[in-house]
Structure 1
Amino acid sequence: MRVTDRLTLVTVVMGMLYLCYFGMREPLVQTQVLPYLRQLVAGGVKVNILTFEPELRRRWTPEQLDAERRRLAAEGIRWFCLPYHKSPSLPATLYDIAAGARFIARLVRREQIKVLHARSHVPMAMALLVRRLTRCQLVFDIRGLMAEEYADAGIWGESSPQFRAVKRLERAGIRRADHLIVLTERMRDWLVERRLKDAGQIEVVPCCVDFVRFPAVLPGEAAPVGNRFEVVYAGSVVGLYLLEEMGRFFLAMRAERSDAFLRVLTASPLAETAAALRRVGVRDEDFAVAFAAPADIPRYLRQARLGVSFRKATFSQIAASPTKVPEYLAAGLPVVCNAGIGDMDELITREQVGVVVSGFSPETLAAAAAQAVSLYGDPDLRARCARVARQYFDLHSVGGAGYRNVYRQLLGTT
């Protein structure tokens, strides 16, 4: 960014408030929120963040809260927090929306905040309420089609009050927001085709990778030396993710490579995860299931040969950008994923960094396994995967640039 760009932002933007309905210690906040906010700070934006902390008084001492605020302040981020209420679900969420909106309105006046940046739907409900009382501009950071995702996971029915309420909120947020951020080009195109928003008001920013966390993959770098051909899956195994189908794909890999080994890194219940793999015939000696902290994920990925990600390819997935895919690529791993998930089909096929599975029949999985093994005939494979990750998912040149572009455009409307 040029110095003049930074000075323009500093001069015009008094401050923004990022609204996040997660706790500060959540891995998602540490890897997919704070890194982007640091990019805005680097662009000269005065950044504030409001989080909602589960069991605030039990999990945080006053000294810990103060220390975390000082640490973030040193990075140019001012942190505010409110307690998160879990149950009963609907009344608790409505209470948080009302309490959040009240707190935000006071903060906007006191801190001269000009932009409310809502990460997903619940924060957008707060922002819309505050918009009635202030002249703040709104950024709706759409992390997915929430109502459809809950329906796809079997949590809500499409005729349920919750589904209809979230869709009304979503439409209001899209209509009233000054700018949208979406994760995929497919989602942007869908919004434009239905005339829900002008293309110029939509920024595509996929889930990105901070390459500081990943050691460089050198040209011609060979696959890890080890006794087994390791296939890795990192992430949740519930909801939309298809663990049993990934287990069946691994069995197809075993038919191609007798030394294949499956490693699942997840925060989901470990015993249930292992049981699901056993149900489809994966032997105990051929897999391991464990929790891994976000800081340890790159190390595990570098030890593997292949990353896998299968999830339900429903309509809601036009908006999906699974974080695990760019992380696999950044570690030099080719990816096996199923079709219909965000922009991944075209990217993986075009850049020759993996295999896209069109279905889950035994024949389709066997063909995908054979193709995945054959990828390692290319000595440049791992370096190419890392180059593609940097080109399309780099936190600084892609994610940070996209976020700063949103604020640069907002400044043109003040």
Structure 2
Amino acid sequence: MSSNKQILYISYDGMTDPLGQSQVISYMRGLSKQGYLFTIISFEKPDKFRQKGDEIRALLTRHNITWHPLIYTKKPPVVSTLYDFWRMNKLAFKLQKANNYAIVHCRSYLSALVGLNLKNRYGQAIKFIFDMRGFWIEERVDGKMWNLNNALYKRVYQFFKAKEQQFWKHADRIVILTNAGKQHMVDQENIPAEKIGVIPTCVDFDIFKLTTPTEQLQLKKQLGIAEQAKIFIYAGAVGGSYSIDVVFKAFALYRHYFKQAHLLLLTKDAVAINTSPLLQQYQINANELSVVEAPFTSVYQYLNIGHLGFVFYNQGWSNIARSPTKMGEYLACGLPVLVYGSIGDIDDLQNKLNIAIVNELTEKECFTAFDKINVDKDVQSIRAAAFDYCSLESGVAFYSGIYQEIQ
């Protein structure tokens, strides 16, 4: 039996990944309470699925969400992605035939290929949401994952640029993370403004919460961090659009300003970091560095002991449409944020949120930013301003509004 609240959600990101938990499942939990019935197709990394698959399935079942996980394949490049797409497309059509979903909600570009196929096959019987997030094609180029001098990657680039135009044309709604990205699409791509919805990456404030001074002290002792040390935090991936060199350079300036400082890296890429020759280049001693791979639901504990969170991407045009997930999580835990470079709507947000922007990692620019952050830190006010900007509740209301509009 069909229902106008049945939604097929397709994601090439895994639900066992932190991003899947924070930026997919968190929304769905809230939307499920409003009667929406989700079926998820996702691609899971084998190791993550072994570790957390049962836990995530139990969580989704509690919220009446059906999950069809497929195992992500990585090699060989391009061919493995084509194989994943074939499986994604086959399963989506099978599920659509059986369940007659009212909406197919596609997260990013590869999933949107399937959404477009469903739209072409079923027409107005199914609504197609292209949740593009950012400009993924340009992100791949800017992050040096697609070398356009390579004939294969150039063809892949051209293929997706052509498909992107079709996504924009045939989608019933487009979702992007920044007003700057939307404005580009309206001005340069002639997409009707009313077709595009903007929502920043949102944060579950029940997960990213505050801890007590006693809990913070205990965690510092556990990590071997001096009680008085000023803790510089970077949370996230290293590689691609995230160069660890930038983190070390920013921390070196932070340590020069505060003297007694500590670098806390919350990342899964610990081995590469601990063996990096850059530690010696920036004269970072082993006792000044902690590397932790924390479960998604435990990250808040580490953010609470910090004094400054760092956000950056390698420079590139695609940054216009980025809304850093970690920025909202930092702020939710009362952590001021240092942003390197112009990213998304950051310039418009700096007077509303406790963030400081530097365009160059120089002593002059960074020290000015550290002055501002050191003076302004007020945990409760930082958290309150962040809630107004990027609470999970606002994200749930946003998506519920879109679902109602297009039915």
How does the TM-score come out when normalised to structure 2? 0.88
User: CA distance change for structure 1 residues 248 and 53 in 2, over 3 Å: closer, same or farther?
Assistant: closer
SS of the residue aligned with 2:133? coil
Partner of 1:19: 10
Shift of 1:300: 0.5
SS at match of 1:213: coil
TM-superposed deviation, 1:73 = 2.9
CA distance in 1, matches of 2:18, 2:238: 16
How far apart are 1:339 and its partner, in Å? 2.6
Question: What pairs up with 1:3-402 in 2 under 5 angstroms?
Answer: 13-55=4-46, 69=57, 71-134=59-122, 135-158=125-148, 160-216=154-210, 226-272=227-273, 275=276, 276-348=278-350, 350-351=351-352, 353-360=354-361, 362=362, 365-378=363-376, 381-396=378-393, 398-402=394-398
CA contact (8 A) 1:36 1:395 kept: yes
Structure 1 residue 72, shift from structure 2 partner: 1.9
The one-character-per-residue Cα deviations of 1:314-341 (angstroms, maximum 9, x if unpaired) are 1111111111111111111111112311
Q: Between the two proteins, what is the percent identity of the paired residues?
A: 28
Distance change (3 Å), C-alpha of 1:202 and 1:271 = same
Pair 277,322 (structure 1): closer, same or farther in 2 beyond 3 Å:
farther
Check 1:93–1:242 CA distance in 2 against 1; reply closer, same or farther (3 A cut): closer
Residue segments in structure 1 that go unaligned for 5+ positions in a row: 1-10
Distance 2:73 2:254 in 1: 44
Q: Is the 8 A contact 1:49 1:77 kept in 2?
A: yes
Partners of 1:375 and 1:60 lie apart in 2 by 41
Are the aligned partners of 1:217 and 1:332 in contact in 2 as well (CA < 8 Å)? no
CA distance in 2, matches of 1:65, 1:155: 28
Unaligned runs of 5+ in 2: 221-225
Q: Report the 3-state secondary structure (helix = DSSP H, G, I; strand = E; otherwise coil) of the residue aligned with 2:67.
A: strand
Contact 2:356 2:372 in 1 (8 A): no
Letter in 2 for 1:20: S
Letter paired with 2:22: T
Shift of 1:111: 0.9
Q: 1:192 to 1:208 in 2, by over 3 A?
A: same
Worse-superposed segment, 67-76 or 201-210: 67-76
Contact 1:232 1:262 in 2 (8 A): yes
TM-superposed deviation, 1:77: 1.0
Aligned residue for 1:88, secondary structure, equals: coil
- TM superposition shift of 1:75: 0.4
Q: Distance in 1 between matches of 2:207 and 2:299?
A: 9
The AA in structure 2 aligned to 1:45 is Y
Contact 2:29 2:63 in 1 (8 A): yes
**Alignment CA distance shift 1:157-1:233 (3 Å):** same
**Contact 1:351/1:388 (<8 A) preserved:** yes
Calculate the aligned-residue CA RMSD, in Å: 2.7
SS in 2 for 1:336: strand
Determine if contact 2:15/2:25 at 8 Å carries over to the other structure.
Answer: no
2:148 and 2:346 map into 1 onto residues whose CA distance is 27
Q: Map Cα deviations across residues 282-340 of structure 1 (whole Å, 9 max, x no partner).
A: 23232222222212210011001111122223111111111111111111111111231
Q: 1:68 Cα shift?
A: 5.6
Listed one character per residue, the Cα deviations across residues 168-196 of structure 1 (whole Å, up to 9, x for unaligned) are: 22221111111011111111111111244
